Structure 1
Amino acid sequence: MRLNKLRTLLLLFLAATLLVGMGMGRAVAATAAEAGPAMAADSSYVIGAGDLLAISVWKNADLTGLVPVLPDNTISFPLVGELVAGGRTVGQLQEELARRLAQFVTDPVLSVVVREVRSLMVYVIGKVNKPGRFELNGNITVLQGLALAGGLNPFAERNEIKVFRVEGGSEVIPFRYDDVAEGGSLAQNILLRRGDTIVVP
C-alpha cells in the first residue's frame, strides 16, 4: 500500500515536470548570439533533460538558435525534426545532427554548445519543509539532499523514505533515516545522481 502511494506521488510529480517542460516549446527560442556565455563546451559532456543547447549552422541563420532538451530527452530542430539528445555527449549529438542535415544542406558546418546546464538536478518531495528541485553541485548524499529541503517535517515516516533513480535504469532505493542518523547504517547514505527523486511519505 505504501509503495503504491509513493508511486502515485512520484507519477504526479513527473507529470507536472513534463507539463512545465512542454511549455518551453519545441521551437528554436532565439539566436545563439543573444544568449549569455556558454556553461559547458566540453564535447564529452553528457546532455540531460532541461539543458539548453545553442546549435548553429555556419552561414545559415534559420538553423541557428537555442533549443531546450525536453523532459523526454528529445529536441526538435528545423529540417531534422525530433531526435534524442539526452544521454548523448555533445560530440555525439553534433555528429548526428550533421549527418541528418547533410540530406538538406551541403557539407553543413555546425556547432553544439550547452548554453545552460539545467539537468544536474535532484528532487525532494513529500513531507519535508521545503520540497523542490535542487542543483546537484558536487557530491551530495541523501542526508544532505534532505537538509537542502529543510529537513523532515514532524509527520514524515522517517524510515520509509525512498530514492527513485532513473539514471542507468529505474531503481527504488530504500532509506531508513533513523538508522543513518544514528550511525548504524551509513551505507544507505548514498551519493545522489542526476535526476534522483527523494520521496518522503
Structure 2
Amino acid sequence: MDAMADKQTGQHFEDQLRIARIRIIHRGVASMAKGWRRLPAKEAFSFVGAAPSAHRQTSGTMWTSLAICLLTCLLPVSLPAQQSTGKTQDNSKVLVARTGNFVKDVPLGVTADANYVIGPEDMLDISVWKEPDLTRTVPVRPDGKISLPLLNDVQAAGQTPTQLATHIKESLKRYVTDPQVTVIVTAINSQRIYLLGEVTRAGAYPLLPGMTVLQALSSAGGFTQYAHTQKVYVLRERNDGQVKLSFNYKDFLNGRNPEQNVVLKVGDTIVVP
C-alpha cells in the first residue's frame, strides 16, 4: 500500500511539473514576441548583421529567456522517484533491524572460551597458518577423537583448545616447518542443559560458563502465560542420586533467597510446571 501511494504521489508530481513547464514556455514565448513587436523593424533584425551594442543586448536577453525555457523543458523529472526509492530503502532497513531484534533464535552452537574442555560432538575450527590443506572444521566423534590430514586420529575430548593446539603443533613438526596452529570451538554440543514445561522454547541448550537458572530461562524465551513461576525447580544428578533444587522466581525478583539462582552443571534439567 505504501509503495502504491508513493507511486501515485510521484505521478501526480510529474503531471504538475509538466504543466508548469508548458506554462513557462508559453509565457517565455509570449514575452519574447511582445518585446520583438516593440522593436523597430531594422532593430529587430539587427543581430543578423552589424548592430549597435544596445541592440545586441536586447536580442541577447531574448535568447537568454528562450534558453531558460528550453532548459526547464529538458530537465528530467527524477526527483520524486529518487525520494520514493530512498523512503522505501529506509523502511526496509528499519524492518530488517526490527526483525533481527525480535525473532533471532538462540544459536545451538556457541563459541567457548580458552578454558573450555572439549567434549564429544563439539565442532572445532582447526587452522594451520599458510597451510590451507590442513585447515578445516571437524566434529569431535563420540569416541572423543578428530580426524586430521597427516595425523589421522587425534584425541580432542578432555583438552582445552590451547592444549589441543599445542598437541597438534608438536605432531605436525615432522611434516611442516614451525607450524602455527589455532583451535577454536565453534559449536558446543557436548555440554548441555534442558528446559521443560511452560517456557517459550523448551529443549536442549548449550551450557555456557557460569550460566545460572535465570540466564537459562531467558535463553528459552522466558515463561508462558500458564507458568507457575513460584514452583520452578532444577533436577540434578549426583553420585548419591537425583536432587531437586527449588527456584521461586517471584521471591528472587523481590530480593529474597538470591542463592536459589544456582550455577548450572552439565545435564541439569529445569522444569517449569
2:140 maps to which residue? 69
1:84 maps to which residue? 155
Could you tell me which amino acid in structure 1 is paired with residue 126 of structure 2? Answer: A
Look up the SS of the partner of 1:88 in the other structure: coil
TM-score normalised to structure 1 length: 0.53
1:115 positional shift:
6.5
Q: Does 1:46 align with 2:111?
A: no
1:162 positional shift:
0.7
Spell out the pairing of 1:29-44 with structure 2 (5 A cutoff). Answer: 44=114
Look up the SS of the partner of 2:150 in the other structure: coil
Distance change in 2, residues 1:67/1:138 (3 Å)? closer
Report which of the two has the higher share of strand: 1
Alpha-carbon RMSD across the aligned residues, in angstroms, is 4.4
Distance change in 2, residues 1:153/1:196 (3 Å)? farther
Look up the SS of the partner of 1:109 in the other structure: coil
1:124 maps to which residue? 194
Mapped to 2, the partners of 1:170 and 1:81 lie a distance apart of: 40
Could you tell me which amino acid in structure 2 is paired with residue 145 of structure 1? Answer: A
2:251 maps to which residue? 182
Report which of the two has the higher share of helix: 2
Mapped to 2, the partners of 1:99 and 1:125 lie a distance apart of: 42
Look up the SS of the partner of 1:52 in the other structure: strand
Could you tell me which amino acid in structure 1 is paired with residue 235 of structure 2? Answer: K
* Aligned residues of 2:195 and 2:202 also touching (Cα < 8 A): yes
2:95 maps to which residue? none
Q: Which has the larger Rg? A: 2
Higher RCO (C-alpha under 8 Å, 6+ residues apart): 1
Look up the SS of the partner of 1:54 in the other structure: strand
1:154 positional shift:
5.4
Identity percentage of aligned residues: 25
Q: Does 1:162 align with 2:162?
A: no
Q: Which runs of 5+ in 2 are unaligned?
A: 1-108
* Aligned residues of 2:234 and 2:270 also touching (Cα < 8 A): yes
* Aligned residues of 2:127 and 2:182 also touching (Cα < 8 A): yes
Q: Which runs of 5+ in 1 are unaligned?
A: 1-20, 22-38
TM-score normalised to structure 2 length: 0.41
